Chain A
Amino acid sequence: MKKALLSSLGLAACVLCTAPAHAHFMMTYTPETYMQKAENADFRLVFTHPTEAGSVMDMGGVQEFYAMHKRGDNLKKTDMKKYLKDITWANPGSKAPAYAATIPAKEIRSMGDHVFVLIPGYYLEKEEDVYMQQISKLILNVGGAPTSWNEPVGLPTEIVPMIKPYALWTGNIFQGQVLSKGKPVANAEIEVEYMSNMPNMATNTMPKESSVDYKNPSLVTQTIFADENGVFSFGIPKAGWWGFAALGVGPDTEYKGKGLSQDAVIWVQANDIK
């Protein structure tokens, strides 16, 4: 009996041992990426493992949070950092500082793409003794007019979508190009996660219950690679939110004397055909 218990404990420990570290994702979240007419947009900025509502980490503050919008040929940058409020985000078993923002409708009322950019601070991944900085993009469209969704913002590193990230059907192929200082990153490694524990905006939490039964840890975080032009493709199997993080692709590789993984993240939202 004792032996059986020990064996099962050993098995449990072993399972934990082999479980891969889930991917860190800078979550730039608002419930809808498309609005027929501009409304106030509620945002949450959280550094977490969105699949399985994992650990929440301190992103080290926000350097910049803004939106780019094109009017004719004029590209306008609107600071959104002024709308940020400190919150604590809590997932089951973990919590950390995060941010909430209500972007007033007047800031996004112009038709077209509003490309939201979050440049967070630095997070020290103690286990590996390296810093992480995930520069994150989310594209919100108002009114259906496409404007600058497929244009680079000019970030140190970014993923430029090649299909509208707010107009995806389930089953579409999402394609993006990974850039570093505006140049394609050949063979970039990209982690992909599904937001299977949807954020609760009222309580600033993610529920324990997942909408997906992950039979294999490799399905929790999928890893794909870009081609020689930095272009990657991913078939979207389920409606909802998908995050793509290109790892260590940014030009900065050091922060405070330690290694730095400067990553590019983009979030897309897929819809079922009903």
Chain B
Amino acid sequence: MKEQESSDQAKALLKKYLEGQCTPEEEQQVLHWFYAQDQPEEEQLKEHQTGLASRINTKLEEQLFSESTPTVRRLTWFRSKWMVAAMLVAVSGCSLWMYNRFSSSDQKPLELAAEVPSQDQTFHNDILPGGHYAKIITPKGEEKQLADPFVQRLEQSSDQQGKNFLVDVPKAGSYMIILEDGTKVWLNASTKLSYPTHFEPNQRQVALTGEAYFEVAKDANRPFRINANGTTIEVLGTTFNVNAYHDEVSTSLVEGSVKVLKEGNQIIIKPGQQATTSLTNDIKVTATDLTKNTAWQRDEFYFDGNNFKDISLQIARWYDVEFENMETIGANSTYKGSISRNSRLSEVLQILALATGRKFDIIGRKVIIQ
């Protein structure tokens, strides 16, 4: 059949192209055919594209970074040897140089919130944003740096039964870990989380100071308990944020249900609610703005009615800086807006300058309000 014949011929030409054996004319033929191909995009494509990137990210994490998964996977890449050949030709020119450059570099962690020269006259210097970093202290007292992100599933086994691991995230750091039960915890700057070498058969207990976002794995037989500065948060499996930088601890619930306990008082909250415990041990429940309370976990500063003191505290924690002349900005004014936590400090201060009508300078690790 003629159609079949020309299809086979076309395939032979494409194979030649992948092998790098085409004449310049044939190459033009293939390229024009390839870039002229234009099937109309399907309508349902939009639907398919929602969540595409995160779906791909999850698959990649499984395929590339998960240790427990067997390596046998569908990989069409290795199926065709001419493909490999073609790519090798394409990259061989630079490979040697890159190899030399990167094989000798020892992997020291990036400096967090480093001081760098300012790009404009307004500031004496600038400060880069914080980054993913944590220190883990084993029950034996050994310290490990967790600079490589996605070191997720942490080793919880140890011969030191009954003792705890401590994850310590400094100022200007943030980190995500996965505990042995599959619970995911995102840790904000200036945060400590301790967890046992193994969870007990009847409960999963951890302790927190600072701020963390939890996605607790469901296990009806083992409640998950967080001790945060004297407040206990008890759940079976759910998602929520805990802010425990101070003795007043706020729990904002994203989904599921959570029980908050403090000195004999207890209360159950629903999604969209926030429970705040106080020094006098009572628990206040308010409706809460989840976008605001969980913004840090999405790499954002998000202010909606925050006063300057609160804003400066969040910035100080992420850029490891101190504010001077704080008292010159009244506590009664509140501000709205969002800024990426990946911005340089100067960019954040420029926006704050617009909002407050004040001038800011950075000198070393100090922010001066003029």
Our verdict on whether A and B bind, yes or no, reads no
Residues of A within 8 A of B (CB): none
